[in-house]
Chain A
Amino acid sequence: MQDAKASPSPDNDEHVADISNREFGQGSAASAGIACCHTCHLLSPVALEECPRCNSRLHLRSPHSIQRTLALIITAILFYIPANLYPIMTTTLLGDTTSSTILSGVVLFVEHGSYFVALVIFTASVLIPLAKIIIILWLCYATSKQSRLSKAELTRLYRATEFIGKWSMIDIFVVAILVALVQVSGIMAIEAGTAAQAFAGVVIITMIAAHQFDVRLMWDRQQ
């Protein structure tokens, strides 16, 4: 483990003039007019407009980051409603058909005494998507207002959100496996439900939303 020393930005003063009167974090690349390429992370003066290594467009910060993130989060919230109302799968056991939603599935496991599975499903399908939506909304708010948590803590929260994003897909994979495996003619069959599609939508859209959010905006805010 080894830490680097921060160094003040040298020899790029001529590009400072290109930046509008926005404030950037102290010691940041942006405050020196240097953009970090979104694609390959190479540093180059923002005045170049295109990354010399991978030809991506250069931006000091992701353009319209907050607006895009909020729009996606609102979409995700809308998808989250049918995801919870409709059944995620339908089980037919000896002619008996039961539909279960995400929540009723969790309740079923608690009743059966399988607390561990109930906990895994509840965490992956209810807790994580909700926590993601709330954290991203909070982070959007925190880029403009003072917050009780420090910037470093909020950044850690963001990193956790980004990391955990795809783990909500567990429920979709569980349904996929059950639907494929449990097909014994005349005895039992499992079918996927509408909610599975809506839930996959929630997971994918929140993943894109987390990616659109530019966490560096928080560090630009003056304490």
Chain B
Amino acid sequence: MQANSQIACHDCDLLITIPEMEENHTLFCPGCRCKQFTKYKQALDSSISFALSALIMLVMANGFPFLSFETQGQNRTITLVQASQEMYAQGFVLLAVLVYAFILLLPTLYLISLLSLLIPIKLKRSPMAPIFVGRLIGYLLPWVMVEVFVVGVLVALIKVIELADIIIGFSFWAYVGFVIFFTLTANIASRHQLWSWIENARR
């Protein structure tokens, strides 16, 4: 068997022998110069704590007003979920489901699946269905669009800022915090890192 001393570059398929790596160093493919993975310091601990922080932020983002819109004495305040609910009410069911999935459902599923793997590993117990969860995480990640949503909100605000007074709610800031923690988590718990944790846990 190959043991785990070698990887193949996912872009050019060059065989690479993993050298001795110091912490926080990144391995690049010598053939096509693409990034392979970074070896982070205390990766397991930081993944768990960032993922938990992201979850807490996400809960907070759902409990407060997201944005308020005031014009001619009338006020309209929306929560985060309403971003997809209003489309549903207008009959765009598919679109509403997609928006809901991309900004709330899939990231939540990702964080919960990741924690269900990492917390037992940290406590030296065996996680439940690690292979299934590991594969699920790989399928979920490309469809998480939380950072795109934040930029979308900002563009939408620029669009309406001349029409009315906009008040950015606490929920928005919580969501921004969630995006930051989510990105950190996904960065540290890279595919390479994730599967080496799973492999060690199965032994």
Binding site for B on A (CB under 8 A): 1-9, 24-25, 27-30, 32, 34, 36, 39-44, 52-56, 114, 116-117, 120-121, 151-152, 155-156, 158-159, 166-167, 169-174, 176-185, 187-188, 191-192, 196-197, 200, 204, 207, 211, 215-216, 219-220
What residues make up the interface of B, taking CB atoms closer than 8 Å to A?
1-2, 4, 6-8, 10-19, 21-22, 25-34, 36, 67, 69, 71-72, 74, 76, 78, 82-87, 90, 92, 94-95, 98-99, 102-103, 131, 134-135, 138, 142-143, 145, 148-149, 151-153, 155-160, 163-164, 191-192, 195, 198-199
Chain A residue numbers with a CB within 8 Å of B90 are 179, 191-192
Cross-chain contact A34 with B15 (CB below 8 angstroms) = yes
Q: A44 to B1, Cβ gap below 8 A?
A: yes
Whole-angstrom CA separation of A156 from B72 in the bound complex: 51
Known: A36-B7, A174-B156. 16 other contacts (CB 8 A): A3-B30, A6-B30, A28-B8, A39-B138, A43-B15, A52-B1, A53-B198, A54-B195, A167-B151, A173-B148, A177-B152, A178-B156, A188-B163, A211-B142, A219-B13, A219-B14
Listed A/B pairs (16) with beta-carbon separation below 8 Å: A6-B30, A25-B14, A28-B13, A29-B14, A34-B2, A39-B135, A42-B195, A54-B135, A173-B152, A173-B153, A174-B152, A177-B83, A182-B160, A192-B90, A200-B98, A216-B11
**B interface, by DSSP: helix, strand, loop or mixed?**
mixed
User: Contact check: which of A7, A114, A151, A170 meets B148 at CB < 8 Å?
Assistant: A170
**CB within 8 Å for A216 and B160 given contacts A1-B28, A169-B145:** no
Q: Which residues of chain B have C-beta atoms less than 8 A from A172's C-beta?
A: 95, 98-99, 152
Interface contact A180-B2, CB-CB below 8 Å: no
Q: Give Cα distance in the complex from A56 to B102, angstroms.
A: 26
Which chain B residues border A54 with CB–CB below 8 Å? 131, 134-135, 195, 198
Instruction: Tell me, in angstroms, the Cα distance from A116 to B155 when the chains sit together.
Output: 10
A4 touches B18 (CB 8 A): yes
Task: Pick the contact of B155: A4, A170, A216 (CB < 8 A).
Answer: A170
Specify which chain B residues have a CB less than 8 angstroms from the CB of A158 in the assembled complex.
11
CA distance A55 to B15 in the complex (A): 22
Question: What chain A residues lie within 8 Å of B192 (beta carbons)?
Answer: 41
**Chain A, Cβ-Cβ closest to B39:** A2
Q: Are B148 and A40 in contact (CB under 8 A)?
A: no
Does B134 contact A4, Cβ atoms closer than 8 Å?
no
Instruction: Establish whether residues B158 and A117, one from each chain, have CB atoms under 8 Å apart when the complex forms.
Output: yes
